[in-house]
Amino acid sequence: MDAAHRNIRELSALYGVARLLATESDIEKMLENILTLLSDEMGMKRGMITLLMRDFHEVHLDIAPGMKKKDIRSVRYGIGEGVTGKVISTGRPMAIPKLDENPLFLDRTGARRRIDRMNLAFICVPIKYRKDVVGALSVDTVARKTGTLEDEVNFLSAIADMIAQRVSARRKNEEENERLERENKGLKKQLEKIIHPREIIGNSRVMKEVYVLIGQVTDSNTTVLITGETGVGKELVAAAIHNSSPRSGGPFIRVNCAALPENLLESELFGHEKGSFTGAFERRVGRFEQAHGGTIFLDEIADLSLAAQAKLLRILQEKEFDRVGGGVTIKVNVRVIAATNRDLEKAVEKGEFRSDLFYRLNVFPIHLPPLRDRGADILLLADYFVQKYSSELKNKVLRINSPAIDALMAYHWPGNVRELENCIERAVLTSTDGVVHVFNLPPSLQMKERGIKETEYSTLDELVSAYERDLIEDALKYSGGNQSEAARRLGTTKRIIQYKIDKYGIDYKRYRSRGLPAD
């Protein structure tokens, strides 16, 4: 091909590239079309665009017409590796007149395995944007017996300059996608650690923090100390740790330390041999031996005497014990989870609890928040207990009405979840219309109804008014604050509902839901 003819073809190709840059908005499609144009117009076959990924300090193939996506993504080079890696690391083009004579050429794509390399030349030029190398453009062309590939190198470098901005944008997109993928993987790992145990109900922020701790400790044999007020569900957390751990197939043995008499404690925990003391008519296997291969949960650990604490310390340190009256040391594989509603650090300061035992137990502390700090979990738990006791007591209760919800939310719950469960059990038992009302709750939870005079005995009118207000608030709640819909539910008119709302001072706006029309 003479110089004039080659110049015409190069100008035509440059025009075609410029047109693609101006008209094609899809970066990937545009770059693929440019490589196809170079193949069709200039005979530059097997064109490829590779990107330098700064975060990973490596080069990966990005655009290669004719190759499958999964194959493209698998082609990677280290900085300085092969011809492409060297071009990107130096920022200078390279031309290989005959591929079979240069060991730097790696052919990672495998596109030339069935082609005679003696007839192929290879050109690779850097793609620079604002003095930074962002990638490389490479093609195959016809091998030269004599001369150089200087003209082809200059032409391909001009193409690289034209596409540099779009390739840089492509690289930024790739880096952003890689970054997001890494973040997603990191988040997934974090989420995998957040175990939401089926034993525990609650989605509040403080409970999610507890779930994270459970997830972090389940796969280990670390001793756990669960603290919190009476009734917060410490045993449920212990069971959740056990059930989510590799020991889930083993036993989960519960021991209430406060319920064990001092004279029977050692026998209960470690067992005894027949005849070891008066009344020992047969051998007894202790709780620790029963828990072999599983978990033992020592509840109310602070109630152990100092003597009992010393005996417990040995098994925590040595993982071995002797039965009462026995002469053989027994080794056990047991995970220990302890719980208390007392401040053990203060107990240590007062000399009521051994410091060495406290440090053995307090390896991984988990504090359970009181119910009053769990916000909307109160309603989740209340609904759960309504369903539970509706089934157990054979009394179908469908819901809790708004005033009763207000009462539940306003109460301070000194007895925590256990007290809430007892309240709902009573409410379900006393409900006669499938609804939990305020008057079904224990007296400690019943609030003075607004708009009713505080008299010793309620009159019939006051009782009727309280019930009427209750019905209107329920209707507003289930109609999303829409007064017309509430009126339809109650079989009356909007005007009457508005009159009653004003009469009882009901704030209907608090029940409004998004997506429902306002009156």
Can you give the pLDDT at residue 192?
A: 52
Q: For residue 39, give both structure tokens.
A: 């193949």
Residue 145 has pLDDT above 90, yes or no: no
Can you give the pLDDT at residue 239?
A: 94
Give residues with Cβ within 8 angstroms of 241, minimum separation 6.
214, 217, 218, 224, 295, 337
What DSSP assignment string belongs to 14-26? HHHHHHHHHH---
Can you give the pLDDT at residue 243?
A: 92
CA atoms within 13 A on the CB side of 446: 9
Dihedral of the alpha carbons of 499, 500, 503, 506, in degrees to the nearest 10: -120
296, containing H or E segment: strand 295-299
Can you give the pLDDT at residue 267?
A: 80
Lowest model confidence (mean pLDDT) among 46-60, 156-170, 378-392: 46-60
Average pLDDT of the residues of the chain: 83
Can you give the pLDDT at residue 137?
A: 92
Which whole number is the average pLDDT over 226-236? 94
Residue 453 has pLDDT above 50, yes or no: no
Which whole number is the average pLDDT over 299-308? 89
pLDDT bracket for residue 451 (50, 70, 90): very low
Can you give the pLDDT at residue 514?
A: 42
Residue 457 has pLDDT above 60, yes or no: no
Which whole number is the average pLDDT over 88-110? 81
Under 8 Å between Cβ of 37 and 26: no
pLDDT bracket for residue 362 (50, 70, 90): very high
- Burial class from Cβ neighbours inside 10 Å (0-12, 13-18, 19+) for residue 284 reads middle
Q: How far apart are CA 263 and CA 300, in angstroms?
A: 18
Residue 115 has pLDDT above 70, yes or no: yes
Can you give the pLDDT at residue 452?
A: 36
- For the chain, what is the radius of gyration of the CA atoms? 39
- Give tens-digit pLDDT for 233-287: 999 999 999 999 999 999 999 999 888 887 777 788 888 777 666 666 677 888 8
Residue 56 has pLDDT above 80, yes or no: no
Select from 3.40.640.10, 3.20.20.70, 3.40.50.720, 3.30.450.40 the CATH code of 3-181.
3.30.450.40
- Give tens-digit pLDDT for 3-36: 777 788 888 889 999 999 888 888 888 888 999 9
pLDDT bracket for residue 472 (50, 70, 90): confident
Residue 354 has pLDDT above 90, yes or no: yes
Which whole number is the average pLDDT over 168-189? 75
Residue 513 has pLDDT above 70, yes or no: no
Percent of the chain with pLDDT over 90: 33
Can you give the pLDDT at residue 368?
A: 94
Lowest model confidence (mean pLDDT) among 72-86, 244-258, 363-377: 72-86
Q: How far apart are CA 47 and CA 137, in angstroms?
A: 7
DSSP SS3 for 239: helix
Residue 309 has pLDDT above 50, yes or no: yes
Can you give the pLDDT at residue 463?
A: 67
Which whole number is the average pLDDT over 331-344? 93
Q: How far apart are CA 488 and CA 496, in angstroms?
A: 11
The reply to whether the predicted model has a pTM over 0.85 is no
Closest listed residue to residue 257, CA positions, set 287, 219, 284: 287
pLDDT bracket for residue 196 (50, 70, 90): low
pLDDT bracket for residue 2 (50, 70, 90): low
Please state the domain extents for the chain: 3-181, 205-256+290-369, 373-511
Residue 164 has pLDDT above 60, yes or no: yes
Q: How far apart are CA 40 and CA 44, in angstroms?
A: 8
- Give tens-digit pLDDT for 397-425: 989 988 888 889 888 899 999 999 999 99
Amino acid, res. 159: I
Task: Give the other-Cβ count within 10 Å of 340's Cβ.
Answer: 23
pLDDT bracket for residue 454 (50, 70, 90): very low
Can you give the pLDDT at residue 66?
A: 78
Q: For residue 338, give both structure tokens.
A: 């302890």
Q: For residue 85, give both structure tokens.
A: 């890696």
Give residues with Cβ within 8 angstroms of 276, minimum separation 6.
323, 324, 325, 326
Q: Which fold has domain 373-511?
A: Helicase, Ruva Protein; domain 3 (1.10.8)
Q: Which CATH class is domain 205-256+290-369?
A: alpha beta
Can you give the pLDDT at residue 256?
A: 92
